[in-house]
Amino acid sequence: MELTLNSTIIGSDGCEFGLDDVVIDPLTRTVTHVVLTHRHGLHTQRLVPVDDLDIGTDHARVSCSEASFGDYPMVQEWDYVRFGEFPVAQPGWATGIEQVYGVAYYGADFAHDWYDDQYTLGWHRIPAGEVEIRRRSTVRASDGREVGTVDGFVCDDTHHVTHLVLEHGRFFGHRDITIPIGQVDRLENDEVHLALSEGEIRKLPSVVVRPWSHKRR
């Protein structure tokens, strides 16, 4: 099963959903959930169990309709926090992807207290102990240098990740490269660390994205 990020997944009634993120158990390297967004409706992201997906060589489907999509739990949470503070998830949940949507305001006169030390933080609520990876998530070589971003994952029938698909490494001519999961040192929220050097990555094979995925660049 290929989980190509930013690809289109078709619902049971023909509606289209975007595959935004993948949620992985970093210990077992198993995909547990995906984050889907309605392509043409409200841009509400929902946490969908990977068991509800049916992805083959010529199709990518999810076993929900447009109406039942709302039954899945929402992912996005919002907090108004001070700098240095972090959102606190409910028991059984953890913080996934984070995004700052507001910044501190500075007035025209810096001699007075125009500084607001709070900002709006959007974050994803994911199952505790798991990590969230999106298409823009950074991939780093063994020396910590950035070599590209995540394009997707290849999984076996048990949803165990077998390969990471690396995209747009500036050292590799902007091509997609498959990385065996055994060469992944660790998975973190929004970041993947490899056990390979840049030279070793360069020798790995490219991969062709399947045409059914309707991938959006």
| 2-71 has CATH 3.90.50.10 classification | yes
Looking at residue 216, what is its pLDDT? Answer: 47
Looking at residue 43, what is its pLDDT? Answer: 62
Dist CA 57 CA 77 (whole Å): 35
CATH topology of domain 134-213: SH3 type barrels. (2.30.30)
- pTM for the model stands at 0.82
Domain boundaries, the chain: 2-71, 76-127, 134-213
Dist CA 199 CA 171 (whole Å): 9
- Burial string for 70-104 (b: 16+ CB within 10 Å, else e) reads eebeebebebebeeeeeeebeeebbbbbbeeeeee
Hey, what are 57's tokens?
A: 């060589």
> What's the start-to-end Cα distance of the chain, in Å?
21
Backbone angles phi and psi of 71, in degrees to 5:
-80, -20
Interacting residues of 116 by C-beta distance below 8 A, sequence separation 6+: 104, 105
Other CB atoms closer than 10 Å to residue 12's CB: what's the count?
14
CA distance readout (Å), 79 to 59, 83, 103, 120:
38, 12, 13, 6
H or E, element range at 198 = helix 198-202
Looking at residue 51, what is its pLDDT? Answer: 97
Dist CA 80 CA 88 (whole Å): 12
β-pairing verdict for 191-194 and 138-140: parallel
- Burial string for 167-194 (b: 16+ CB within 10 Å, else e) reads bbbeebeeebbbbeeeebeebebbebeb
pLDDT block averages, 10 residues each, the chain of length 217: 93 94 97 93 85 91 94 80 62 78 52 54 86 94 93 94 81 74 96 94 71 46
